[in-house]
Structure 1
Amino acid sequence: MAHDILFFLAADDEAAAGTRLRGPGATFESVSCRFIDPDTAIAEWDMYFEEPSAEAPSSERLYAWRPWPEWVVPPLNDGVEVIALPKRLTLALADASPTELEELADCWTARLRSEDGDEMTDDDLRAVLQGIARLAVSAVHAGGSLYSWNF
């Protein structure tokens, strides 16, 4: 499981790849979260907007989801990953209503709690999703993309 995750807005894949060694830092607008697997979270969010459901997906269904998030920079031995959020997910997050974000946060929290129990992140996942949705709005208006950087 990843530890420190920053979801951030960058102009393009090249700019996002440039964050690999030091992270997005203050240069990029970002939202932080701890102790989640960003690949799985991104796939779960994408699934929610493509096939809306008030129920958290089963692990089997989630891991069968395609397309799976793509690396901008493949992970090396240091454990750092930079992952691009799908464009359709960025658009969906930018257009999401407060009710949709709340329902998604509830599903995401339920799935993490069932899988991770007491090891679940102590971050407010609703606030994390709201922050990422704000980044998505900025990305859509600026013509950029959303990424996750995790270590």
Structure 2
Amino acid sequence: MAHDIVFFLAPDDESAAATRRQGPGPAFESVTCRFIEPDSAIAEWDMYFEEPAAELPPIEQLLAWPWPEWVTAPLNDGVEVFALPPRLIRAVLADATSVELEELADRWTARLRSADGDEMTDDDLLAVLQAVSRLAASAVTTGSGLYSWSF
């Protein structure tokens, strides 16, 4: 099942965990998109930058990839808060080139389309990645973390 998701900056895991009940809100710099599974998106991005390739790897490779860590324990209410891996934030997304972001957006679109068909997000995935990349650069500059909140 897909989620509404907010990628946001927070000073630390404790601050990110505090968003669990009502979401990040306007107090946190963020970007919002809809109908995306946050954990698989983060794993897809991490896999792309670790093993760059324009072609879509098999789903088994994605499922075997290390997934992001929970910031709060999962409950049955549908809310998820994940921390993006520091290597993905600092070494990759913050320094991603426009060509890398375009290639990743194409690959990510292909993954979503293969899983969700016509039900995939209407968001411009390249614009989402560009916004997340700007957040990652800000995280590096401010020493913050980059998180996802979804419902």
TM-score (norm 2): 0.97
- Which residue does the alignment assign to 1:117? 117
Q: Map of 1:38-77 to 2, 5 A cutoff? A: 38-66=38-66, 68-77=67-76
Structure 2 Cα separation of the partners of residues 9 and 54 of structure 1:
28
- Which residue does the alignment assign to 1:79? 78
CA contact (8 A) 2:43 2:65 kept: yes
Question: 5+ unaligned residues in a row in structure 2: which ranges?
Answer: none
Segments ≥4 residues shifted beyond 4 Å: none
Structure 1 Cα separation of the partners of residues 80 and 62 of structure 2:
20
Structure 1 Cα separation of the partners of residues 3 and 69 of structure 2:
19
Matched, 1:14 2:22: no
- Which residue does the alignment assign to 1:90? 89
Structure 2 Cα separation of the partners of residues 123 and 40 of structure 1:
16
Find the residue that maps to 2:7 and give its secondary structure: strand
Structure 2 Cα separation of the partners of residues 71 and 94 of structure 1:
22
CA contact (8 A) 1:44 1:57 kept: no
Find the residue that maps to 2:126 and give its secondary structure: helix
Find the residue that maps to 2:114 and give its secondary structure: helix
CA RMSD of the aligned region, Å?
Answer: 0.7
Structure 2 Cα separation of the partners of residues 24 and 46 of structure 1:
23
Structure 1 Cα separation of the partners of residues 17 and 3 of structure 2:
19
CA contact (8 A) 2:94 2:137 kept: yes
| TM-aligned CA deviation for residue 55 of structure 1 | 1.0
Find the residue that maps to 2:147 and give its secondary structure: strand
CA contact (8 A) 2:44 2:62 kept: yes
CA contact (8 A) 1:54 1:104 kept: yes
**Percent of matched pairs sharing the same residue:** 73
Matched, 1:105 2:105: yes
CA contact (8 A) 2:3 2:38 kept: no
| TM-aligned CA deviation for residue 2 of structure 1 | 3.2
Alignment: residue pair count: 150
Structure 1 Cα separation of the partners of residues 75 and 84 of structure 2:
20
TM-score (norm 1): 0.97
Deviations 1:77-129 (A, max 9, x none): 21101000000010200010010000000000011111110110001000000
Structure 2 Cα separation of the partners of residues 77 and 110 of structure 1:
30
Structure 1 Cα separation of the partners of residues 2 and 81 of structure 2:
12
